[in-house]
Amino acid sequence: MECPNGDLLAAWFHGSGERSANDVEVQGARLKKGADTWSPVFVMADTPDIPDCNPVLFIDKQERLWLFWAVVHNNRWEQSILKYRRADSYEDDGPPKWDWQDIILLKPGEQFAQGVKAGFDALHYDQSMWAEYAPEYTTMLEEAAKDPLKRGVGWMTRTNPIALPSGRILLPLYSDGFNISLVAFSDDNGATWHASKPIVGLGNCQPALLRKKDGTIVAYMRDNGVRPPRIMKATSADSGASWSIAHDTDIPNPGSSVAAIALADGRWVMAFNDTNQGRRQLAIALSADEGATWPWKRYLDKAAPGQGSYSYPSLFEGHDGQIHVTYSYSVAGGQSIKHVSLDPDWIKGN
C-alpha cells in the first residue's frame, strides 16, 4: 500500500511453515518515495510461539494504518484467530509505531447456519460419488455451522479491505474449515465488527472485493472446489451484509488466490493465475465494463512447467494512477516477494 507521503509499505509472512512450525512472523519493508531500493526487512507482528500469517494493510479515512492478520492457533487454519494492529505514525523508517492491538471476535450466529444450509440447497450439488459410510459433504458443513465455536473462529484474511462511500469498511474473510467466505464489516471506523451472511459455494475462498457504480459489491474468489477450476463470483446488493450464491465464471483458476481492484477511472484490474493447474504464469487483466468482460491481458511472469511459481498477488492504484502489484516469486534461484508497477494501459499493449 501507499502511505500519504508517497512511500510504499509491504507486508508478508515468513517462516518454516505455519502447519508445522511456530517461527512464522509477519515481516515488512518500505520503499521511500523516489527510491529504487527497498529498506531492510523488519518485523510487523510476531505472536510468541504461534504462527502469524496472511497480513493485509489498510489506511482508513482518518489516515490510520491497519494491519490485519491470522494467528494460526495449534497450527490449524480452522482454529485461526483474527488480529489487528493500528498505527497513527507509520511513515518513519522501520516498522510502524503501533498504538493499539486487539483481536476481532465474530459471532455469525444462527443466520450463518441457516445461510449455509440455504446456500447448499440452492446449489443442487450432485453428491452421488459419496460412499455409504461417508456423510455428504454439505451435510458435514451444515452440522458444523450449527456449532457456535466452529463458526466463530477460523476466519482468515488474504485480500485487502475496501471502504464504501457510506464509510463502511468491508474486510473480506474465508474459512478453511468451512471452505467458504464471508465479510466482516464496520460502520464505526473499526471500533466494532460484524459478520455478514455467508458467501456459500463449493470451495469459494479468499474474496477480492470491488464496488460497482450502482453500489453492487462483487467478490471474485479462488476455487478450491469441483473441477473444472474457475474463478468464482458472488454479489451483494446491501453493502456486503448478504450475498448471492458463489458460481463459477469462465476464467480459469488452479486453486490460487485472486486480486482485483476498481481504478479511479472506473476500469477494473485483476491479477490471477490463468491456468487450470499450477501457478507458472501470473496474468493481469483489464475490464472496461465492470467485469462483464476482460478483453485485455498480459503476463507479469511466465515460466515453463516446473520452472517457476508466481502467486498470491496484491494490487493497489497509486496516487499517480500507477498500478502496483506484489506477489510471491519462486524460481530455481530462490524465493522472494516481487514488486511490479505499471501503467494500466500497458495491459492493453500500449
The pLDDT of 14-42, averaged and rounded, is 93
Q: What angle do CA 93, 317, 229 make, to 5 degrees?
A: 115
Q: Categorize the per-residue pLDDT at 125 as very low, low, confident or very high, splitting at 50, 70 and 90.
A: confident
Q: Write down the pLDDT at residue 18.
A: 82
Does 85 lie in the same domain as 221?
no
Closest to 221 in 3D by CA, of 187, 251, 177: 251
- Alpha-carbon distances of 102 from 54, 70, 79, 81, rounded to whole Å: 16, 12, 17, 11
Q: Categorize the per-residue pLDDT at 194 as very low, low, confident or very high, splitting at 50, 70 and 90.
A: very high
The pLDDT of 271-276, averaged and rounded, is 97
Does 168 lie in the same domain as 80?
no
User: Over the chain, what is the mean pLDDT?
Assistant: 95
> Does the pLDDT of residue 127 top 80, yes or no?
no
> Does the pLDDT of residue 129 top 60, yes or no?
no
> Does the pLDDT of residue 227 top 90, yes or no?
no
How far apart are alpha carbons 151 and 106 in whole angstroms?
9
Does 118 lie in the same domain as 81?
no
Which pTM value belongs to this model? 0.96
Per-position DSSP letters for 21-61, written without gaps between them? -S--EEEEEEE-TT-SSPPPPEEEE--TTS-EEEEEEEE-T
Q: Categorize the per-residue pLDDT at 134 as very low, low, confident or very high, splitting at 50, 70 and 90.
A: confident
Q: Write down the pLDDT at residue 136.
A: 83
Does 206 lie in the same domain as 309?
yes
Q: Write down the pLDDT at residue 193.
A: 98
Whose cell is 452440522? That residue is 143
Does 96 lie in the same domain as 150?
no
Does 110 lie in the same domain as 99?
no
Phi-psi region of 75 (alpha: psi -120 to 50; beta: other; left: phi over 0): left
Q: Write down the pLDDT at residue 285.
A: 98
Of 104, 122, 144, which marks where a domain is finished?
104
Does 61 lie in the same domain as 134?
no
Check the CA dihedral 100-241-211-228 and report its sign.
positive
The pLDDT of 7-22, averaged and rounded, is 91
- Alpha-carbon distances of 342 from 299, 323, 328, 338, rounded to whole Å: 12, 5, 18, 13
Give the distance between the most distant pair of CA atoms in the chain.
Answer: 64
The pLDDT of 193-199, averaged and rounded, is 98
Does 201 lie in the same domain as 93?
no
> Does the pLDDT of residue 130 top 70, yes or no?
no
Of 104, 122, 157, which marks where a domain is finished?
104
Q: Categorize the per-residue pLDDT at 17 as very low, low, confident or very high, splitting at 50, 70 and 90.
A: confident
Does 122 lie in the same domain as 67?
no
CATH number for the domain spanning 342: value is 2.120.10.10
Does 137 lie in the same domain as 6?
no
Record the cell numbers describing residue 70, joined without a space.
491470522
Whose cell is 508466481? That residue is 310
Does 159 lie in the same domain as 85?
no
> Does the pLDDT of residue 231 top 70, yes or no?
yes
Sheet with 204-211: strands ordered across: 204-211, 217-223, 230-236, 247-252
The pLDDT of 198-215, averaged and rounded, is 97
* Angle (deg, nearest 10), helices 137-145 and 110-123: 160
Does 42 lie in the same domain as 113?
no
Model confidence over 77-103: pLDDT tens digits? 999 999 999 999 999 999 999 999 999
Q: Name residues whose C-beta falls within 8 Å of residue 25's C-beta, 6 or more positions apart in sequence.
A: 13, 14, 15, 43, 44, 45, 46, 52
Whose cell is 440452492? That residue is 122
Which is more confident, 135 or 218?
218
> For the chain, how many structural domains are there in total?
2
Q: Write down the pLDDT at residue 135.
A: 78
How far apart are alpha carbons 245 and 212 in whole angstroms?
18
Domain ranges, residue 320: 106-348
